[in-house]
Amino acid sequence: MNDSSLSLHRLFDLVARLRAPDGCPWDREQKIDDLRAYLLEEAHEVAAAIDASDWEDIGSELGDLLFQIVFIVCLAEERSAFSLSEVVDRIEEKMIARHPHIFGDEDLVDSAAVHRAWELRKLEGGGPDTSLLGGVPGSLPGLLAAYRMTQKAAGVGFDWPDHLSVMKKIDEELTELRAELAEAEDPGANPRVREELGDLLFTMANLARHLDLDPEAVIAGANAKFRRRFHRMEKILAAEDLSLAELDLDAMERAWETAKKAALD
């Protein structure tokens, strides 16, 4: 048994101790439904560390995520639902099947061919009601779901030929949105405005995919930049004994431009 296996077993022993009759009352009460939120939270913490390119933080957050995974497996073992070895066996079998060009005799020359072969193989292996999009969970953030669904569709050839074609579609969707806004008395309550805005965002996620960019990572970067600049603007105003609450829009815009020029980001 290697060091990694020993470390994983120590983590299982830790969870078992916490769940023991004389263990932690809080940990003993946890159910699978309770762990869902923690699992998502820790996954987002890992994503944030990746966005920051902070390897030390990535390692720390991966530990928190691994703990949640081990906790869930321990709950499953308590119910005799499945074991860690079964989880490992399943993913090993899936990954070997996904790489016939490595473990078999298929000749797949590039990543696009690998992706297409994988999506087609999943369809061939399913029943008559199998959907190509069935593997995209409904709980995914919207932009990421759009990215993954169209990535899967592109894997079987259902896609725009290039990013310029997507740009034309964006122009089309923007024109349709403008038309709906021009006629809407209450845009926020108008279902057609909502639909056209959704189409525009969906197409923007497609553009990101064609540019080999993760739209969730792209918007996370934009959010982080806005947060930095807004905080810088607040500090600039505080140094002048001013607050946002007492400024009009023109004054806030001037402060914003000052913050943008204060540092390159």
For 23-46, how does the pLDDT look when each residue is reduced to its tens digit (9 = 90+)? 999 999 999 998 988 998 999 899
d(CA 192, CA 181): 9
* Nearest CA-CA partner of 15 in 82, 99, 92, 76: 76
Domain boundaries for CATH 1.10.287.1080 within the chain: 3-96, 131-213
Alpha carbon distances (Å) from 103 to 100, 108, 244? 5, 12, 62
- Residue 67: partners with Cβ closer than 8 Å, 6 or more residues away: 11, 15, 42
Residue 213: what pLDDT?
A: 93
The amino acid at residue 116 is R
Q: Calculate Rg over the CA atoms of the chain.
A: 25
Superfamily name with CATH number, domain 3-96: MazG-like (1.10.287.1080)
Residue 265: what pLDDT?
A: 57
Q: How is residue 130 written in tokens? A: 């199998």
pLDDT in tens, 78-136: 999 999 889 999 999 988 888 888 888 888 878 778 877 777 777 666 655 578 888 78
Domain 131-213 listed as CATH 1.10.1040.10? no
- Residue 1: partners with Cβ closer than 8 Å, 6 or more residues away: 9
Contact 263, 236 (CB under 8 A): no
